Structure formats: structure tokens, C-alpha cells
């Protein structure tokens, strides 16, 4: 008799979209009292703690082998240290809604990374056209024809870099680590742990240039704009414990239960949630051209993620290896 999960994958899918979509709101609130580097580091620390604990409690183990860990170090950079830091830094200059739109760069970057990293892989004409359309959407958002109404270009570029890094990281993972997954949470735990190692010199270097020195690592501004002094810290911990740690477990469950095609659609739902939360909760506003560009990028992401109807069903091993774009 086939074992039926107690919680349907549809519920986990919805939870995952809401969790990752709200991560940009949580970062924005966290920035009221913490720096971007502090948020990124605390997110990785708390997320790694959760997922490693789940791995140990489930009887799993970390990967072995120097070569494997070398590749995991690259994944830790592109899937944790770089995007977490870039998204947090971007929100010091742009709204959380706009940062969430930058996350839609993931499928565009995935197509380009596939052409560069995966030998023998060819992108279809449909996807290449969608990549071009996606770039047009990005340009529309950045509005190079005006200097008054466009978003902060450095901030939005940081968000785009964060979203693109996920596409590069997951493609690299597929190229070099698809055959060494020990199942369960082994690779996700190892990825966050390597990301944590990479964040150590970043945090120390950041603290070195701060006026208070190493004390900046645990500094905290209690004068939060929200009027709740510890709300930014709570939001950052939720971002790490739930949005980075617990979400990994949901991520794998969704892909195993529904397949990689449905799992990939999370990519273009995350920005929708981030925009809605930014507008409704934080009172943020997107300009007309930003909304037009958002619609173009969203449409391109949908076309890139859509699979042909004639594609054969994914096998069980493929479902195990396939993952949704990332933990936001």
C-alpha cells in the first residue's frame, strides 16, 4: 500500500510560496536594527542550525570526500552567502517589493548557466526568446531613459545578482553533485554549512572597517522604526529558522510529491507575494514602468519554467535530485 503523506504537497507548496515570498518583508524589517551583513550571517547560522538538527534527528549524514566538499563550497557561495548578502544589501537602497522582483532573475540566469556549465545541454528557441524578453523587462524596470523616476540602479542590480546567483548555483549543483546526494537533507545541510564558513571572513572584514570594531558583530539598534525594539531581531530569526531552515524540508517534499515541473513554478510566485506584502504591509509603491517591467519578467519566467506537454514523466531519482530554485 502506498504511503500517503499526512500533509498534502499542495499545502506545503502554498506554505513555501508564502514563506519565501515574505522573506523580503522580513529582511526589510530586520534592517531597522541590524546591518545587511548581520542579517545574512544570522540567517545562515540559524538556518544551518535547523536543517543540521533535522538531518541528525532523521538519522542522516553529511556528504564525504574532499572533491565533494570542494563543489559544495561553490554551492555554498552561490546558494547562500552571495544571494543572502546581496538581497539584504539591496534592501538598504530599494523597497522589498522591488528586491522581490529581482528574485525573478533566477530562471533567466539558469538558462544562461545551463549553456555555459552543462555540456551537451541546449536551450530551446522558446527559452532563448524568453531570456531576451526577460532582459527587456529588467531594462524596463531600470528605466535608463529617465533619471528622476527610476529605482536605485545599484540596489536593484544587487537584487538581480542575488536572484541570478541561485540559477548559477543550482546549475552548478546539477553539473557536479547530482550523483552524490545521500538523500534527505544531506546536501542542503552541507550547502548551508559551507555558506556559513564563507560568511566568517565576510563578517570579520565588515567588522574591521566599522568604528566599533569586532563589537559591531553583535551591535543592535533598539530604536526600531516600528516601535517594537526586538521585532527586527525576531523577523531575522524567523527568516533563518523558517525561511532558510524549515523551508528546505518543504522544498524537497514538494518536488518529491509533485515533481520538478510544478516545483519550479514557485520561482514566479515568490515575487508576486513579495510585491503584495511590500505594498499592503509596508506601504511601498511601484511606479508604472516598474509594474510593466515586472509583468514582462514574470511572463518570461513562466515561459522558461514551462515544460512541453510531451515531456516524459520524471523518474523517482530525477525527482530526488530536482529542487526548486532556492531558499530565499
* pLDDT for 317: 43
How would you write the pLDDT of the chain (328 residues) with one tens digit per residue? 445 567 788 888 889 889 999 999 999 999 999 999 999 999 999 999 999 999 999 888 898 889 999 999 999 999 999 999 999 999 999 999 999 988 888 888 888 888 888 877 776 777 788 888 888 888 888 887 777 778 899 999 999 999 999 989 988 988 888 777 566 788 889 999 999 999 999 999 999 999 999 999 999 998 877 678 899 999 999 999 999 888 877 876 776 676 655 666 677 788 889 989 999 999 998 888 888 988 888 888 777 766 655 544 444 444 444 444 444 6
* pLDDT for 324: 44
* pLDDT for 262: 65
Q: What separation, in Å, do the N-terminal and C-terminal C-alpha atoms of the chain show?
A: 36
Contacts of 8 (CB under 8 A, 6+ apart): 257
Q: Enter the DSSP assignment of 183.
A: S
Rounded Cα–Cα distance for residues 187 and 209 (Å): 34
* pLDDT for 228: 85
Reported residue count of the chain is 328
* pLDDT for 150: 80
Contacts of 155 (CB under 8 A, 6+ apart): 89, 90, 91, 92, 93, 94, 98, 99
* pLDDT for 94: 94
* pLDDT for 178: 76
Rounded Cα–Cα distance for residues 246 and 249 (Å): 6
* pLDDT for 141: 85
One DSSP character per residue, 137-148 reads HHHHHH-TT-SS
Is residue 305 within 8 Å of 264, Cβ to Cβ?
Answer: yes
Amino acid at each position: 500500500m502506498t504511503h500517503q503523506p499526512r500533509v498534502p504537497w499542495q499545502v506545503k507548496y502554498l506554505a513555501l510560496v508564502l514563506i519565501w515570498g515574505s522573506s523580503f518583508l522580513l529582511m526589510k524589517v530586520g534592517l531597522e536594527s541590524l546591518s545587511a551583513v548581520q542579517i545574512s550571517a544570522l540567517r545562515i547560522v540559524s538556518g544551518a542550525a535547523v536543517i543540521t538538527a533535522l538531518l541528525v534527528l532523521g538519522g542522516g549524514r553529511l556528504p564525504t570526500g574532499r572533491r565533494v566538499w570542494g563543489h559544495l563550497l561553490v554551492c555554498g557561495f552561490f546558494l547562500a552567502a552571495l544571494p543572502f548578502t546581496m538581497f539584504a544589501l539591496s534592501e538598504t537602497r530599494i523597497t522589498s517589493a522591488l528586491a522581490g522582483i529581482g528574485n525573478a532573475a533566477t530562471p533567466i540566469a539558469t538558462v544562461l548557466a545551463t549553456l555555459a556549465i552543462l555540456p551537451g545541454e541546449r536551450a530551446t528557441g522558446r527559452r532563448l526568446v524568453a531570456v531576451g524578453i526577460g532582459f527587456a523587462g529588467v531594462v524596463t524596470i531600470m528605466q535608463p531613459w529617465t533619471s528622476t523616476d527610476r529605482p536605485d540602479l545599484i540596489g536593484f542590480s544587487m537584487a538581480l545578482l542575488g536572484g541570478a546567483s541561485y540559477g548559477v548555483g543550482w546549475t552548478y549543483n546539477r553539473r557536479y553533485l547530482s550523483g552524490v546526494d545521500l538523500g534527505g537533507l544531506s546536501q542542503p545541510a552541507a550547502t548551508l554549512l559551507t555558506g556559513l564558513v564563507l560568511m566568517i571572513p565576510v563578517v570579520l572584514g565588515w567588522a574591521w572597517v566599522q568604528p566599533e570594531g569586532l563589537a559591531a558583530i553583535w551591535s543592535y539598534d533598539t530604536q526600531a522604526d516600528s516601535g517594537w525594539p526586538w521585532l527586527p531581531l525576531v523577523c531575522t530569526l524567523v527568516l533563518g529558522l523558517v525561511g532558510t531552515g524549515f523551508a528546505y524540508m518543504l522544498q524537497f517534499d514538494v518536488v518529491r510529491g509533485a515533481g520538478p515541473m510544478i516545483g519550479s513554478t514557485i520561482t514566479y510566485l515568490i515575487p508576486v507575494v513579495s510585491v503584495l506584502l511590500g505594498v499592503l504591509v509596508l506601504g511601498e509603491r511601484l511606479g508604472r514602468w516598474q509594474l510593466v517591467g515586472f509583468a514582462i519578467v514574470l511572463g518570461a519566467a513562466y515561459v522558461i519554467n514551462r515544460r512541453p506537454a510531451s515531456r516524459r514523466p520524471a523518474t523517482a531519482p530525477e525527482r530526488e535530485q530536482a529542487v526548486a530554485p532556492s531558499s530565499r
